[in-house]
């Protein structure tokens, strides 16, 4: 990687601006300044074109021409004020005065992640709207917020996985300084900020990067179209672009980590692998508080989080799906798609996932038609991110219904306890802490030509799941987005206020849990977890009688009056607890 940073985009300095763009196939590149002259860029090295001019400054709008083609927005623009098809704007990152000099970051073992969509988290749907809720999130007990992708996308609403302008915060959410204000305020509140980024595909509209260079390959496909060219002709420039992007978010915006979307879809046979090069670049070029590189990856691949010196990629953590899938099958009865691999799940299987971080370690996957997983032995439990809901597992259902629509309130409370006491890093999806009734539906705002094909493509992607073959909410209509916005009055009303109280108490308890772990499954539907000095008994289905340490004082149980308006408290003896329905109890042992 070039030692210079930042490399791509428009960079103000002194009384001038330096523009750089990678266009290896272009014979000529011209900078078209809004209301100003057109200037020729000179080729410097490896297909990079650059020029420095005092005719531009912060706020100047500009585009590029490639020979006779264009004009195009800058693929590394720091802001697209008129949308992804409009002119780019020069932004001065140093103009913001940061107030987080005392921020020391959050160690991985202390992470409690709260995933949110900026547009649907508040009625305002902006970075400033999220900022106004930071104190609430701190008081809840989470230690990090994870923003679903915020790089700019076409239209006014999108999940963020249709990336168009990788370096530009979405104009629908606010200007770049609004995102900086959010991160700065989060740090001053005691919260880390993790950003979801997409390096495995280009969005279907407004992603002009491929007009400038060979960003796509015709040798491999992803579910979202051609794969990113990470190992073919011109791949060095493509890799450099995305490495520059990662460093840009970590350095220019002070974010504490990146969640790397669907890393199993990064097609790369080169050495080093792109992910290893990314982790090395972050280690070399990013100073300050601890940063976290987190993979979303379905493979249970231990190499992702192994040190580079040991042949790994050097990432810090990975989303681990097995626990979620097992719990859904056991409590909600899911049977389709990847849930086929978990049909015989018992509490003993769940105990294995909790004990080891994941379940599949090379066994045959009926869903994939091949072996899945590697040995979790080299992986620390705190390198695994687990959840009972996330944006995919809610939003990729035909109507975007939450777990609360598929299990009883008692079961939901029991699952919530389990999530908050496991040694893995727990992730909550926005509104989960009060059992939000609002769905999280798939929504887009593409043009009339592209919109119908996106709707049909989504049905194809989830053909293994029933419900997608019939009438589903049209993602192009405004209603799916509007239905997905959280209702902040809910947590003030029963029964939501009780669930919120439970999460408050569980997350306050979590830092007190011991590092040692013992987990057993007395039956197919019950678990006993010991994290000294605390013991947790969990009943996931039906009735159950479970042993407890003798005379152990009860800290909480899920049938307390403060947690549910219709409690059915378990019966306690000196050494047992009897559940009349799903639930959990936490006691303190010797």
Say if residue 263 carries a ligand binding annotation. Answer: yes
How far is CA 408 from each of CA 487, 501, 582, rounded to the nearest angstrom? 21, 18, 9
The angle formed by the CA atoms of residues 105, 273 and 104, to the nearest 5 degrees, is 5
| Other residues' Cβ atoms within 10 Å of the Cβ of residue 324 | 23
- Among 296, 316, 341, 433, the active-site one is 296
Say if residue 505 carries a ligand binding annotation. Answer: no
Which tokens in the block code for residue 316?
């810090």
Say if residue 562 carries a ligand binding annotation. Answer: no
Peptide bond into 368 cis (omega under 30): no
The residues near 497 (Cβ < 8 Å, ≥ 6 apart) are: 434, 491
Say if residue 189 carries a ligand binding annotation. Answer: no
Cα separation, 255 vs 262, in Å, equals: 20
Say if residue 324 carries a ligand binding annotation. Answer: yes
- Of 393, 386, 391, 330, the closest CA to residue 358 belongs to 386
Let me know: does 179 contact 150? Beta carbons within 8 Å.
Answer: yes
Say if residue 367 carries a ligand binding annotation. Answer: no
- Among 184, 231, 244, 261, the active-site one is 261
Say if residue 108 carries a ligand binding annotation. Answer: no
- Of 121, 81, 118, 253, the closest CA to residue 181 belongs to 253
Count of helix runs (H) and strand runs (E) in the chain = 14, 31
The angle formed by the CA atoms of residues 173, 320 and 491, to the nearest 5 degrees, is 50
Say if residue 539 carries a ligand binding annotation. Answer: no
Say if residue 13 carries a ligand binding annotation. Answer: no
Say if residue 394 carries a ligand binding annotation. Answer: yes
Say if residue 125 carries a ligand binding annotation. Answer: no
Say if residue 396 carries a ligand binding annotation. Answer: yes
- Of 34, 29, 76, 69, the closest CA to residue 55 belongs to 34
Say if residue 527 carries a ligand binding annotation. Answer: no
Let me know: does 391 contact 429? Beta carbons within 8 Å.
Answer: yes
Cα separation, 47 vs 49, in Å, equals: 6
**Crossing angle (nearest 10°) for helices 322-332 and 347-356:** 160
How far is CA 77 from each of CA 63, 165, 212, rounded to the nearest angstrom? 9, 7, 13
8-state DSSP, 396 = T
- Of 390, 491, 393, the closest CA to residue 436 belongs to 491
- Of 78, 192, 174, 177, the closest CA to residue 129 belongs to 174
Say if residue 260 carries a ligand binding annotation. Answer: yes
Say if residue 231 carries a ligand binding annotation. Answer: no
Known catalytic residue at 261: yes
Say if residue 8 carries a ligand binding annotation. Answer: no
Let me know: does 93 contact 255? Beta carbons within 8 Å.
Answer: no
First to last CA, the chain: 55
Say if residue 34 carries a ligand binding annotation. Answer: no
- Of 548, 520, 102, the closest CA to residue 347 belongs to 520
Cα separation, 404 vs 388, in Å, equals: 11
Q: Residue positions in the annotated binding site?
A: 259-264, 321-325, 391-396
Annotated binding site for substrate: 259-264, 321-325, 391-396
Residues with active-site annotation: 261, 296
């Amino acid at each position: 990687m070039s030692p210079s940073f930042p490399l791509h985009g428009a960079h103000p300095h002194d009384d001038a601006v330096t523009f750089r763009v990678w266009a290896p196939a272009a014979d000529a590149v011209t900078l078209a300044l809004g209301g100003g002259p057109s200037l020729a860029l000179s080729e410097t090295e490896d297909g990079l074109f650059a020029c420095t001019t005092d005719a531009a400054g912060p706020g100047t709008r500009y585009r590029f021409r490639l020979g006779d083609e264009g004009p195009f927005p800058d693929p590394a623009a720091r802001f697209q004020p008129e949308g992804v098809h409009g002119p780019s704007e020069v932004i001065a990152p140093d103009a913001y005065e940061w107030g987080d000099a005392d921020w020391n970051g959050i160690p991985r073992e202390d992470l409690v992640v709260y995933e949110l969509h900026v547009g649907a988290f508040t009625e305002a749907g902006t970075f400033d709207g999220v900022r106004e809720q930071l104190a609430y999130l701190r008081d809840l007990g989470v230690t990090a917020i994870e923003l679903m992708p915020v790089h700019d996308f076409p239209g006014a609403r999108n999940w963020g996985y249709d990336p168009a302008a990788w370096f530009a915060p979405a104009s629908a959410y606010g200007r770049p300084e609004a995102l900086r204000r959010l991160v700065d305020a989060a740090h001053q509140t005691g919260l880390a900020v993790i950003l979801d980024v997409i390096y495995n595909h280009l969005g279907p509209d407004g992603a002009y990067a491929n007009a400038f260079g060979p960003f796509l390959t015709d040798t491999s496909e992803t579910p979202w179209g051609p794969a990113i060219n990470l190992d073919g002709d011109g791949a060095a420039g493509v890799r450099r672009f995305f490495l520059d992007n990662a460093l840009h978010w970590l350095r220019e915006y002070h974010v504490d980590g990146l969640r790397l979307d669907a890393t199993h879809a990064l097609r790369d046979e080169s050495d080093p692998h792109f992910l290893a090069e990314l982790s090395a670049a972050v280690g070399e070029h990013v100073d300050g508080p601890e940063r976290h590189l987190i993979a979303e990856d379905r493979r249970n691949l231990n190499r992702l989080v192994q040190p580079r010196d040991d042949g790994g990629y050097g990432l810090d953590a990975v989303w681990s799906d097995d626990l979620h899938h097992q719990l859904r099958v056991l409590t909600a009865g899911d049977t389709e798609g990847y849930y086929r691999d978990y049909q015989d799940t018992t509490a003993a299987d769940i105990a294995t996932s909790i004990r080891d971080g994941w379940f599949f370690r090379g066994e045959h996957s009926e869903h994939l038609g091949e072996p899945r997983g590697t040995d979790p032995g080299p992986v620390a439990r705190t390198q695994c991110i687990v959840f009972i809901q996330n944006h995919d597992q809610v939003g990729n259902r035909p109507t975007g219904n939450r777990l609360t629509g598929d299990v009883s309130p008692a079961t939901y409370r029991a699952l919530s306890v389990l999530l908050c006491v496991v040694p893995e890093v727990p992730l909550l999806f926005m509104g989960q802490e009060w059992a939000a009734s609002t769905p999280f539906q798939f929504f887009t705002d593409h043009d009339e030509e592209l919109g119908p094909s996106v709707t049909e493509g989504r049905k194809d992607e989830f053909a293994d799941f029933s419900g997608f073959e019939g009438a589903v909410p049209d993602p192009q209509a405004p209603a799916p987005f509007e239905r997905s916005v959280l209702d902040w009055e809910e947590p003030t009303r029963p029964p939501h206020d009780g669930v919120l109280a439970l999460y408050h108490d569980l997350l306050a308890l979590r830092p007190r849990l011991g590092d040692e772990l013992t987990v057993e499954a007395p039956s197919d539907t019950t678990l006993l977890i010991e994290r000294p000095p605390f013991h947790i008994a969990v009943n996931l289905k039906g009735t159950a009688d479970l042993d407890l340490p003798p005379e152990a004082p009860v800290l909480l149980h899920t049938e307390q009056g403060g947690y549910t308006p219709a409690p059915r408290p378990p019966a306690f003896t000196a050494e047992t607890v009897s559940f009349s329905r799903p639930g959990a109890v936490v006691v303190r042992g010797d």
